[in-house]
Structure 1
Amino acid sequence: MNAFRRRTAVLAGILLLLTGTPARGAGADTTAPELASIDLSRESITVAGTDVELLTVSVRLTDDVGVVTRYDGAGGTSPFLFFGSRGVPVSLVFGTGIPQDGVWTGVVAVTSDWAAREQPVQVVAQDEAGNTLDVDPRTVIETPAVTVLSSHTPVVDVTVTPDPVMPNAAVTQTVRVTDKDTGLPWPRLPIAVGLDNSCPEDGISTATARTDANGRYQRIFPAGQLYQVVMCAWVPAANVPGQRSTRIGGDAAFPRYKFVVSATPAATSAPTGTNVAVNGSVAPPVQGKVVQLQRLYGTEWRTVGTAGTRASSRYTVVATPPGVGVWTYRVYAPGDTSHAGSMSPAFTIRGT
């Protein structure tokens, strides 16, 4: 899943701890902690498949009044850092030195889906006075990196069928896991499956399903309601002491529903140039959807009017027969990222 969204969610939760910082009076310290150095316990790591290798990160922080540990009430602490292109959160605990000049350490779990070269990308710390350091270490110090030699990475692929799906129809989520090196299915592998917010935010989950002998897992959401949320899956690694669990691989898909459009003219005939109201609705329900009234010219449909759906998902658009004769119309709802476009059945209005 999206590393930026995961990283943002974690950061937002941890920074809630700032609401309880001391008030700053006259002459109070206003200088944030400074990042002096970062060291890694290993320069290179070899990791395969679903294995986990641990890397210790040591961060030296200095401050006039002293860096402190603060808790956010949800398992997150400050100071902490984000590591690598996937934004893996790493809590830091006090190790050696003094609060004014000390080394804080954390352990990060390295998995086979890491990039070939990774390094810390953000450090956050707070001092006794409530001043906060929030910095990309690469902009202020020489930041070390670890070389990751990986193999046989689980590759997770998530699909949703049918595509598109009719409103209130059943939806099937299919998860397939293969070996990146061999391309072969990965049988009987523990996986985690999630929905909606758990996809970017769930950092402590354990396996909730398992692939079959063909490296596949399916779950069916029965007909009767809309499942218009992100559906995801990943391979969970074991929890690392002091850390949240680590994801290996991962993918997500979003059910794309097909618009169903109805359209009924208020009259089937009208004098030439007279406006005729055409009423209809769009499903799945959506407010503000712009629909297009189209008229048939020979073999070509041309847009001759537009309208937006109301809160009820209904709309009213105006058809005006341009001359004597039978004119064929339809209403089209264009597709978007969550829906496939569709049109109403054609209807006619006779101009008299």
Structure 2
Amino acid sequence: MRRVLAALLATPLMASPLVAQAAPDPDLHIESVTLNKTSVAVSGLNTAPIMVTVKGKYDANANTPVNVILERTGGSGQLSQMLSTNLVRNEAAGTWSGPLNVPSTANGTFKVIGLVTGPFFPPSPPIYDVTPYAGPSIAVTGTHQPKITAVVTPKVVPFNQPYSIKWAVSDAQTGKPYGTRVRVFLGTNSSCVEYFGPRSTNLTDTNGVVTKAYPGVSMAPITCLLLPGTPDAIGWLSFVPARPGIVSAAPSKPSAPVGTLVPVNGSVQGPPYSCPVHLQRLYGATQWRTVNSATVRQSGRFTVNAQPAYKGTIPYRVSFPRCRNYQAGVSKVLYVRGT
């Protein structure tokens, strides 16, 4: 839900391929949306089905399913939006109906805000925007919500070196595992975004733990654990493993007249595109001060400018501060001689 509905509602969250293309579907006409309950209680990894009924018509294809979208209006829980299952058309009754599966992570209040024609199938983008509809609300009491943690080994992953992640699913309320094997989906990159349930490939042990080995790559992928739901995940943790800040730099020429700009070219492995780098000059025996700054280009390269302030050999270095998942790093000392 975090990925799909964020795109459907034009709320940026992750880089999602689901981008609405046009105005609301002119063929979709909604008369009413009803829920068979106004409140529900759900605990742990369970879901509580709520029956959704939509009265209306779809001129383009009478058998097309629809999905109802609900948005959080109060409370706290990991989900900010919910999506119904593909609601089935009953042409004789002039309705669509089916379940909305409510998880504990929906703790709080949700309100129907619109519909889209289905079937829900990421990553295919919807042809139309959400058709707005101000519908009923539901109050969710979610207890023993899942908490997901991850431990990466090694903590900072070297480039092109394999690593592992120990994932754990526990009860956030008690701090203990649920005591059963939990079905989870472990993915990277697009599979973290394009997931739709129910689908799973892994089981934790009874302590809620599962460890996965990942191959060494030059660009660290988004990694995720998703708790499968229908039609989307009911909980998740996603992140990019930490990478070292590896900086190299060299002056374009070894010497220049005092006051002349000397380009210093370098690169940061990754690349950490748009992250800052700082050219520092040594003052005294130990004090490094920033004298020029730039940002890393998409290629991973950068250019900063040294400017000899006096005659003699002047020490410089390029400092890379921690940026996103890249750790801080510093280049070897380089020298420019003022003449």
The offset of 1:165, in angstroms, is: 3.4
Are 2:314 and 1:321 equivalent residues in the alignment? no
The offset of 1:202, in angstroms, is: 0.4
- Structure 2 counterpart of 1:209: 202
Residue pair 2:8, 2:129 contacting (<8 A) in 1 also: no
Q: CA deviation digits over 1:4-26, x for unaligned, max 9?
A: 422256798797899xx9xxxxx
Are 2:66 and 1:79 equivalent residues in the alignment? yes
- Structure 2 counterpart of 1:331: 318
Are 2:220 and 1:228 equivalent residues in the alignment? yes
Distance of aligned partners of 1:79 and 1:321 in 2 relative to their CA distance in 1, 3 Å threshold: same
SS of the residue 1:82 aligns to: strand
Are 2:86 and 1:91 equivalent residues in the alignment? yes
Residue pair 2:245, 2:269 contacting (<8 A) in 1 also: yes
SS of the residue 1:257 aligns to: coil
- Structure 2 counterpart of 1:24: none
Are 2:257 and 1:262 equivalent residues in the alignment? no
In 2, Cα distance between equivalents of 1:14 and 1:90: 20
- Name the aligned partner's letter for residue 199 of structure 2: T
Are 2:191 and 1:198 equivalent residues in the alignment? yes
- Structure 2 counterpart of 1:344: 331
Residue pair 2:277, 2:319 contacting (<8 A) in 1 also: yes
Taking only the aligned residue pairs, the percentage that are identical comes to 30
Residue pair 1:87, 1:121 contacting (<8 A) in 2 also: no
In 1, Cα distance between equivalents of 2:295 and 2:103: 49
Distance of aligned partners of 1:312 and 1:104 in 2 relative to their CA distance in 1, 3 Å threshold: closer
In 2, Cα distance between equivalents of 1:112 and 1:36: 30
The count of residues paired between Structure 1 and Structure 2 equals 313
In 2, Cα distance between equivalents of 1:211 and 1:226: 29
- Structure 2 counterpart of 1:155: 147
Distance of aligned partners of 1:261 and 1:45 in 2 relative to their CA distance in 1, 3 Å threshold: same
Q: Which moved more, 1:214-223 or 1:52-61?
A: 214-223
Residue pair 2:43, 2:142 contacting (<8 A) in 1 also: yes
In 2, Cα distance between equivalents of 1:144 and 1:311: 47
Unpaired runs of at least 5, structure 1: 22-30, 71-76, 238-243
Distance of aligned partners of 1:305 and 1:212 in 2 relative to their CA distance in 1, 3 Å threshold: same
- Structure 2 counterpart of 1:104: 96
TM-score normalized with structure 1 length: 0.73
The offset of 1:107, in angstroms, is: 1.6
Residue pair 1:109, 1:246 contacting (<8 A) in 2 also: no
- Structure 2 counterpart of 1:25: none
1:1-352 equivalence runs, <5 A? 3-8=1-6, 32-61=27-56, 66=59, 68-69=61-62, 77-84=64-71, 85-95=80-90, 97=92, 102-124=94-116, 134-138=130-134, 143-187=135-179, 188-223=181-216, 225-237=217-229, 244-265=230-251, 272-273=258-259, 275-285=261-271, 291-298=277-284, 299-306=286-293, 313-352=300-339
In 2, Cα distance between equivalents of 1:156 and 1:290: 32
In 1, Cα distance between equivalents of 2:4 and 2:280: 43
The offset of 1:330, in angstroms, is: 0.4
- Structure 2 counterpart of 1:28: none
Unpaired runs of at least 5, structure 2: 10-16, 72-79, 119-126
Residue pair 2:195, 2:232 contacting (<8 A) in 1 also: no
Q: Which moved more, 1:166-175 or 1:322-331?
A: 166-175
Residue pair 1:211, 1:217 contacting (<8 A) in 2 also: yes
TM-score normalized with structure 2 length: 0.76
Note the aligned Cα RMSD (angstroms): 3.6
In 2, Cα distance between equivalents of 1:125 and 1:36: 15
